[in-house]
């Protein structure tokens, strides 16, 4: 899962709900918040702030045009914000990954390789290697383990994956880049 700041996480949580109300967003943020103020301001400027220059037909025409134009402006803003949300949210990738795991295949996600061993266990392995064989020490192994654990905890922030993985025993394994079959660390978390 992508690393987000606190502000980014609040945005993602709020927009996940907001994006289900596309037409309401376009109307409120486009027509009401943008269209009406612009129409009213332009009407006042056109009439030079003089009551005798103000005409109801010009006012209603301006309101109607800017409310309609504002609606399309709101749709455009919605699409831009939704694109940002989709770029930081990988819910679709995670849902596809859950389907891959359910089918018994390995799923690669960021630095993790996840396998469903049986109906009770998920094995989470590191896919990237941070050290050479000569650099293997307790300190580097713990650092690697903590990084993989952190990646897995971020993945579990996704509610669908959390619901899926809560039914399994999680085995975290750390491998070096030598291609050995035996993990350097194998812990149940």
Average pLDDT over residues 1-14: 75
- Kindly give, in sequence order, each residue whose CB lies less than 8 Å from that of residue 133, ignoring residues fewer than 6 positions away: 176, 177, 178
pLDDT at 132: 61
Q: Is 66 a residue whose pLDDT tops 70?
A: yes
pLDDT at 162: 87
Question: 107, 91, 108: which is closest to 99 by C-alpha?
Answer: 107
Task: Place 83 in a pLDDT band, splitting at 50, 70 and 90.
Answer: confident
Q: 187: part of which helix (H) or strand (E)?
A: strand 185-188
pLDDT at 179: 65
The DSSP bridge pattern shows strands 121-126 and 169-174 to be parallel
Task: Place 1 in a pLDDT band, splitting at 50, 70 and 90.
Answer: very low
Task: Place 185 in a pLDDT band, splitting at 50, 70 and 90.
Answer: confident
């Amino acid at each position: 899962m992508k690393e987000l700041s606190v502000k980014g996480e609040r945005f993602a949580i709020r927009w996940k709900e907001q994006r289900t109300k596309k037409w309401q967003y376009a109307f409120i943020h486009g027509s009401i918040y943008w269209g009406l103020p612009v129409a009213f301001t332009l009407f006042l400027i056109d009439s030079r702030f003089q009551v005798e220059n103000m005409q109801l037909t010009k006012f209603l025409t301006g309101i109607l045009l800017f409310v309609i134009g504002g609606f399309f402006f709101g749709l455009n803003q919605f699409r831009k914000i939704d694109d940002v949300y989709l770029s930081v949210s990988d819910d679709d990738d995670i849902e596809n990954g859950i389907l891959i795991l359910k089918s018994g295949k390995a799923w690669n996600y960021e630095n993790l390789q996840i396998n469903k061993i049986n109906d009770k266990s998920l094995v989470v392995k590191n896919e990237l290697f941070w050290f050479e064989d000569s650099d293997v020490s307790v300190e580097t192994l713990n650092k690697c383990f903590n990084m993989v654990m952190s990646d897995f905890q971020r993945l579990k922030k996704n509610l669908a994956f959390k619901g899926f993985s809560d039914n399994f025993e999680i085995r975290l394994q750390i491998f070096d880049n030598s291609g050995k079959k035996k993990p350097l660390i194998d812990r149940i978390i």
